[in-house]
Structure 1
Amino acid sequence: MHDTSLNGELIDLRAGDYEARIATSGATLVHLRRLGHDLVIPFDADAALPGAWQGKTLVPWPNRIADARYTYRGVDYLVPCNEPETGAALHGLIGWTNFAVAPAPNAATEQPSAVTLTLDLPASYAYPWSLHISVCFTLDAATGLTVTTTSTCTGAALSPAAGVVGAPEENGVPAPAPYGVSCHPYLTRSVPLDECTLQVPAGRVLDVDAHMAPAGEREVAGTDWDWRTGRLVGITATDNAYTGLPSGTWQVRLTGGEGGHSVVMEAAAPWVQVYSGEHLARRGVAVEPMTCPPNAFNTGQDLLTLAAGQSHSFTWSLWEED
C-alpha cells in the first residue's frame, strides 16, 4: 500500500496466483493479473490518469444522461456535462472523488486479499440526495476478483423558499433518490481485440443516435451485434447497451492470446454496455454490467429508487478460465 498524488491511495491485493491494485480515486481497479498476465487493461496509476474511465465505479448513474439534464417526478435538474462531443453527463458523480480506506480486521497483513473503500456523497443541485457508498474488492485464489458496491440513501435536500432546486416532495416527504450503478473494466488477453473471441449472452441491443442517446431496441439475431455463441471480434466495433440477458447471473467471455485462455465477467444485471475500446487502441473490450440503460434518469426504464435509509448492493466478478 502506498500513496500517489494522481489517483489517491493505491492498495495492492494478492490471493494465490491473482494480484490486483485498487486506487481510492473513483474506487478504481488499476490492474488485475493472474500469474503475471493481465486480465484487464492496466494503467500506471503512479504517473498517469486512467484512459476512457478504466476501472472506475459508476454511481449514481451508469452511462449517459442525454443533454446533461433530467426531469424526475416533475422537477428539472442540470448535471455537469463531461462529454462535450455528445453534450451528455457521463458515468455518474464519483469517478474522480477520493474514497476512504475502511479499517481492515487484519491490518497487520502485508499483502491483504480484500479492501473496502467508503465515500459519503453529499447532496447537490444536480442530485439533491446524499449517499453512503461502500465498494468492497475481494481477491480469492480460486474465484478471482469479486467487487460489491453498496449504496445507502442517507437523506434528501428539500427546496427552500429561495428557489434552490431540491428533491421532489410527495405528501410532504422527499421522493426517493433515482439510482443506477455499474463498473468500467476493460477485459484483455494482451493481444489486439480483433484477434479475440467475444461471447455476450444478450438477445437485444440498444441503438443510439449521433449523440449516443438511446434510439430504440432491436433483436441481435442476424446482425453484427449477436455475440451469443461467441465469435471472432475482427473489425467489428460496438459501443452499445445490450439486454435480453439470462435471468440471474450471466457471464461474458473474452478468449485469445497465449494458451487460448478466457477472462470471464460474471454479474446479475438487466443491462451490459460493451465497448470495443477504440479510445484504448482496441487492446481490450469494456464490459459494464448496468442496473439501467443509458438515459434512465429521463426515461425511467429499469431505474432504481432509494428512500432514506434504503440500500442497494451490486456485485460483479472477474477471473481467468483455463
Structure 2
Amino acid sequence: MPPTPAPHRVGCVSSRDAITLTAGDAEVTVRPDNGCRVQSLRIGGTELLRQGERYGCFPMVPWCGRMRDGQFRNGGLQHRMPLNAPPHAIHGTGRNLPWRTARHSDTTATFTYELADPHAPWPYPGTVTQLVELAADGSAVTFTMGIETYDDSFPAQAGWHPWFLRNLGKDTEDVRLDFAPAWQEQRGEDKLPTGKRLDPTPGPWDDCFGMPDGVDVTLTWPGQLELKVSSREQWVVVFDEQEAAVCVEPQTGPPNGINTEPRLVTPIDPLETSMTWSWRRL
C-alpha cells in the first residue's frame, strides 16, 4: 500500500553540504558539494533514488556519456580528457566538483560552477548553471542547465544521469519502463554508437535512443507510484543492467556526441536544456 501522504508543506532547509526543497509531500535534496547531484527524492516518505556518494542524480556536463578515447576537437585544436572509463572519458567534469549555491528560496535553488576550475581539465572558460524547481504542490520537479561563455567558443553537451531504485520496498514489484523511441543507436564493441540506427530492441539496455518529439519515458512501480521523465531533447540513454537501479538519462546529444553531433557554445549562443520529473500515486 502507498504510504500515508504527509501534511502539505512548503519550505527550504539548507546546511553546509545540502539544500532540501519541500512542497506537499515531496522532498528534493541537492548536494552542491558533491557534483550538484540530487541526493534524494522522497515522495510521501518513500525514497526513489539509489543512495550513495556516486548515485542519486548527477548532471553530465560539459559532455554526456563516453567520449571516444577521451579526445575531442574544436576546429583545428584537439584536446584530451582524463580516461576515467578506459579507453574513454565519461560523464563530464561537473559531477566531480563542488558547485556554488547562488540562491535558493522555498522551492527553488540555483547552483553554478566554472568550467575552468583549476581542479578540472576542461580547456575553455565558461559558467555552468543548474536550476532546480519543485512545483508548489509537490507534484513535479524541473531541472534546467545552461552553459555560457564570454570567451572562445567550444563544443559541449549537457544532461542528467538519475539512478531510480528498481524496487521501492519489501514485497513490492520492480519498476516497469514504458517508452516508444523512433530508433535505437547501434552500440559497438567499444560501447559507443556506430552511427547506424536500428529498430528498438528488447532490454536490458545500456543504449541510446532517439525520440525526435522529445524524451517521454514513464517509470511505474505497480501499486505505488508512476513517474514521467520528459524533456524537449531528442536523446535518451537507458541503462538497466544493474540489479539495484534503472537510469533514464535525457541529454543534448548521444554518447560521443561532442564529436559526432557537436553543439557549439558561443558568446551569443549558450547551451540550455531542461528535464521534468512528474509523478502521481497509484
Shorter-chain TM range is 0.7 to 0.9
Q: d(CA) in 1 for partners of 2:117 and 2:164?
A: 34
| Aligned counterparts, 1:83-232, within 5 A | 83-84=85-86, 87-104=87-104, 106=105, 112-122=106-116, 127-140=122-135, 141-156=137-152, 176-188=153-165, 189-190=167-168, 195-221=174-200, 223-224=201-202
Q: d(CA) in 2 for partners of 1:286 and 1:14?
A: 24
Corresponding residue for 1:162? none
Conserved in 1, the CA contact under 8 Å of 2:74 and 2:154?
Answer: no
Q: d(CA) in 1 for partners of 2:45 and 2:117?
A: 42
- Over 3 Å counting, the alpha-carbon distance change for 1:2 and 1:276 in structure 2 is same
**Partner amino acid for 2:259?**
N
Corresponding residue for 2:9? none
Conserved in 2, the CA contact under 8 Å of 1:129 and 1:154?
Answer: no
Q: d(CA) in 1 for partners of 2:47 and 2:278?
A: 11
**Secondary structure in structure 2 of the residue aligned to 1:297:** helix
Q: 186-195 or 304-313: which moved more?
A: 186-195
Conserved in 1, the CA contact under 8 Å of 2:215 and 2:250?
Answer: no
Shift of 1:186: 1.8
- Over 3 Å counting, the alpha-carbon distance change for 1:142 and 1:246 in structure 2 is farther
Over aligned residue pairs, what C-alpha RMSD do you find? 2.3
Conserved in 1, the CA contact under 8 Å of 2:139 and 2:280?
Answer: no
Q: Percent identity?
A: 22
- Over 3 Å counting, the alpha-carbon distance change for 1:237 and 1:194 in structure 2 is farther
Shift of 1:142: 4.6
- Over 3 Å counting, the alpha-carbon distance change for 1:143 and 1:126 in structure 2 is same
Shift of 1:242: 0.5
Conserved in 2, the CA contact under 8 Å of 1:72 and 1:297?
Answer: no
Q: d(CA) in 1 for partners of 2:177 and 2:199?
A: 15
**Secondary structure in structure 2 of the residue aligned to 1:62:** coil
- What 5-or-longer segments of structure 1 have no aligned partner? 4-8, 44-48, 107-111, 157-175, 225-235
Corresponding residue for 1:81? 83
Corresponding residue for 1:292? 253
- Over 3 Å counting, the alpha-carbon distance change for 1:276 and 1:287 in structure 2 is same
User: Deviation per CA, 1:77-107, whole angstroms, max 9, x where unpaired?
Assistant: 11111013xx110011211111111134x5x
Q: Does 1:268 align with 2:232?
A: yes
- Over 3 Å counting, the alpha-carbon distance change for 1:182 and 1:263 in structure 2 is same
Shift of 1:274: 0.4
Conserved in 2, the CA contact under 8 Å of 1:29 and 1:56?
Answer: yes
User: Deviation per CA, 1:157-216, whole angstroms, max 9, x where unpaired?
Assistant: xxxxxxxxxxxxxxxxxxx21011001112235159983321122121112223212224
**Secondary structure in structure 2 of the residue aligned to 1:298:** helix
- Over 3 Å counting, the alpha-carbon distance change for 1:181 and 1:194 in structure 2 is farther
**Partner amino acid for 1:62?**
C
What's the TM-score, normalizing by structure 2?
A: 0.85
Corresponding residue for 1:50? 54
Q: d(CA) in 1 for partners of 2:163 and 2:278?
A: 13
Out of 35, 40, 55, the position equivalent to 2:44 is: 35
Corresponding residue for 1:256? 221
Out of 71, 83, 89, the position equivalent to 1:69 is: 71
**Partner amino acid for 2:93?**
L
What's the TM-score, normalizing by structure 1?
A: 0.75
Corresponding residue for 2:29? 21
User: Deviation per CA, 1:130-159, whole angstroms, max 9, x where unpaired?
Assistant: 111111111112532111112111313xxx
Corresponding residue for 2:277? 318
**Secondary structure in structure 2 of the residue aligned to 1:184:** strand
- What 5-or-longer segments of structure 2 have no aligned partner? 1-13
**Secondary structure in structure 2 of the residue aligned to 1:154:** coil
Aligned residues: 263
**Partner amino acid for 1:41?**
R
